[in-house]
Chains A and B, each alone.
Chain A
Amino acid sequence: MEDIVKLFACCIPVKGHIRSIICDIQRMKYDFIPNTLYEILIIHENKSLAYIKEYYGNEHDETIEQYFAFLLESEYAFICQEKDITRFPKLDLSWQSPSLITNSIIDLPEEQLNLDFHGISKQLDELGCNALQIRCYKDIKLENVAEILKAFSRSRLRHIDVLLKFNSGYTSDDYEPLFADNPRLFFLTLHSANENTIFSPQGTTLCIHLTTKKISSAADCGCINPSYFSPNIATFTEAQNHNTCLNRKISIDSSGNIKNCPSMNENYGNIRNTTLKSVAESKKFKELWNLNKDKVSVCQDCEFRYICTDCRVFKTDDTDIYSKPAKCSYDPYTATWAD
Chain B
Amino acid sequence: MILILSRGKSETTTEIVIDWIMRLGGNYIRVNGDDISEKDNPYGINISNEFSKFNISGEGIDYDSLTSDNKINVVWYRKWIIPYGAEYLKLIGDGDLAAKVQFHLSGEANGASYGLYSQFLNAKWLDNPLIIRSLQKPIILKIANELGLNVPATLITNNIKELKGFLKLHSRIVTKCITDGIFLTVNGIDYGMYTKEITWLEIGELKTEYFYPSLFQELLDKMYELRIFYLNGKVYSMAIFSQNDPQTAIDFRKYNLRNPNRYVPYKLPEEIEQKLRLLMKKLDLKCGSIDIVRKKDGAYYFLEVNPLGQFGMVSGPCNYYLEKEVAKYLIKNDK
Partner-B contacts on A (CB < 8 A) = 8-10, 26-27, 75, 78, 86-94, 96, 98-99, 128, 154, 156, 158, 233, 237
7 extra A-B contacts, CB within 8 A, seeds A8-B264, A91-B265: A26-B260, A27-B259, A86-B267, A88-B267, A94-B319, A99-B19, A237-B319
Interface-centre pick from A9, A78, A90, A92 (highest chain B CB count, 10 A): A9
Chain B residues within an 8 Å CB radius of A154: 60
Chain A residues within an 8 Å CB radius of B16: 98
Chain B residues within an 8 Å CB radius of A86: 267
Chain A residues within an 8 Å CB radius of B221: none
Report yes or no: B319 in contact with A233, Cβ–Cβ below 8 A. yes
Flag whether B90 is at the interface (Cβ < 8 A).
no
Chain A residues within an 8 Å CB radius of B268: 87
Report yes or no: B321 in contact with A96, Cβ–Cβ below 8 A. yes
Interface-centre pick from A75, A86, A93 (highest chain B CB count, 10 A): A75
Report yes or no: A10 in contact with B264, Cβ–Cβ below 8 A. yes
Q: B11-24 CB contact bits vs A (8 Å, 1 = yes)?
A: 01001100110111
Flag whether B318 is at the interface (Cβ < 8 A).
yes
Chain A residues within an 8 Å CB radius of B264: 8-10, 88, 91
CA distance A8 to B262 in the complex (A): 8
Report yes or no: A27 in contact with B316, Cβ–Cβ below 8 A. no
23 cross-chain CB contacts under 8 A: A8-B241, A10-B262, A10-B263, A26-B263, A75-B262, A78-B262, A88-B239, A88-B266, A89-B267, A90-B265, A91-B318, A92-B265, A92-B319, A92-B320, A93-B319, A98-B19, A98-B20, A98-B22, A98-B24, A99-B23, A158-B12, A233-B316, A237-B319
Chain A residue with the shortest CB-CB distance to B15 = A158
CA distance A91 to B321 in the complex (A): 12
Flag whether B324 is at the interface (Cβ < 8 A).
yes
Q: B313-333 CB contact bits vs A (8 Å, 1 = yes)?
A: 000111111001000000000
Chain A residues within an 8 Å CB radius of B267: 86-89
| Shortest distance from the beta carbon of A162 to any chain B beta carbon, whole Å | 22
CA distance A94 to B259 in the complex (A): 26
CA distance A78 to B239 in the complex (A): 12
Chain A residues within an 8 Å CB radius of B23: 98-99, 128
Report yes or no: B324 in contact with A96, Cβ–Cβ below 8 A. yes
Chain A residues within an 8 Å CB radius of B320: 92
Within B1-38, the residues touching A (CB, 8 Å) are 12, 15-16, 19-20, 22-24
CA distance A87 to B300 in the complex (A): 13
State which of A26, A89, A99 has its C-beta within 8 Å of the C-beta of B262: A26
Which 6 A-B pairs rank lowest in CB-CB distance, beginning with the nearest? A98-B19, A98-B23, A9-B264, A98-B20, A8-B262, A92-B319
| Shortest distance from the beta carbon of B308 to any chain A beta carbon, whole Å | 23
CA distance A88 to B320 in the complex (A): 14
State which of B244, B263, B265, B324 has its C-beta within 8 Å of the C-beta of A98: B324
Chain A residues within an 8 Å CB radius of B262: 8, 10, 26, 75, 78
CA distance A32 to B19 in the complex (A): 38
CA distance A89 to B239 in the complex (A): 11
Given A26-B263, A96-B324, A158-B15, A233:B317 Cβ within 8 A: yes
CA distance A9 to B319 in the complex (A): 11
Tell me what chain B mostly uses at the interface: helix, strand, loop, or mixed.
Answer: mixed
Chain A residues within an 8 Å CB radius of B316: 233
CA distance A307 to B316 in the complex (A): 17
Report yes or no: B241 in contact with A78, Cβ–Cβ below 8 A. yes
CA distance A168 to B260 in the complex (A): 41
Chain B residue with the shortest CB-CB distance to A236 = B319
Within B119-156, the residues touching A (CB, 8 Å) are none
| Shortest distance from the beta carbon of A154 to any chain B beta carbon, whole Å | 6
CA distance A141 to B259 in the complex (A): 42
Chain A residue with the shortest CB-CB distance to B320 = A92
Chain A residues within an 8 Å CB radius of B244: 75
Chain B residues within an 8 Å CB radius of A10: 262-264, 317
Q: B33-65 CB contact bits vs A (8 Å, 1 = yes)?
A: 000000000000000000000000000100000
Within B229-243, the residues touching A (CB, 8 Å) are 239, 241
| Shortest distance from the beta carbon of A4 to any chain B beta carbon, whole Å | 15
Chain A residues within an 8 Å CB radius of B19: 98-99, 128, 156
| Shortest distance from the beta carbon of A201 to any chain B beta carbon, whole Å | 18
CA distance A98 to B17 in the complex (A): 9
Within B157-185, the residues touching A (CB, 8 Å) are none
Chain B residues within an 8 Å CB radius of A92: 265, 318-320
Chain B residue with the shortest CB-CB distance to A90 = B265
CA distance A92 to B321 in the complex (A): 10
CA distance A65 to B316 in the complex (A): 33
CA distance A8 to B263 in the complex (A): 8
Chain B residues within an 8 Å CB radius of A8: 241, 262, 264
Chain B residue with the shortest CB-CB distance to A75 = B262
| Shortest distance from the beta carbon of B188 to any chain A beta carbon, whole Å | 10
Chain A residue with the shortest CB-CB distance to B59 = A154
| Shortest distance from the beta carbon of B272 to any chain A beta carbon, whole Å | 11
Chain A residue with the shortest CB-CB distance to B319 = A92
Chain A residue with the shortest CB-CB distance to B318 = A91
CA distance A93 to B321 in the complex (A): 11
CA distance A283 to B22 in the complex (A): 22
Chain A residue with the shortest CB-CB distance to B226 = A87
Chain B residues within an 8 Å CB radius of A27: 259-260
CA distance A154 to B316 in the complex (A): 26
Chain B residues within an 8 Å CB radius of A237: 319
CA distance A8 to B261 in the complex (A): 11
CA distance A87 to B224 in the complex (A): 12
CA distance A99 to B239 in the complex (A): 29
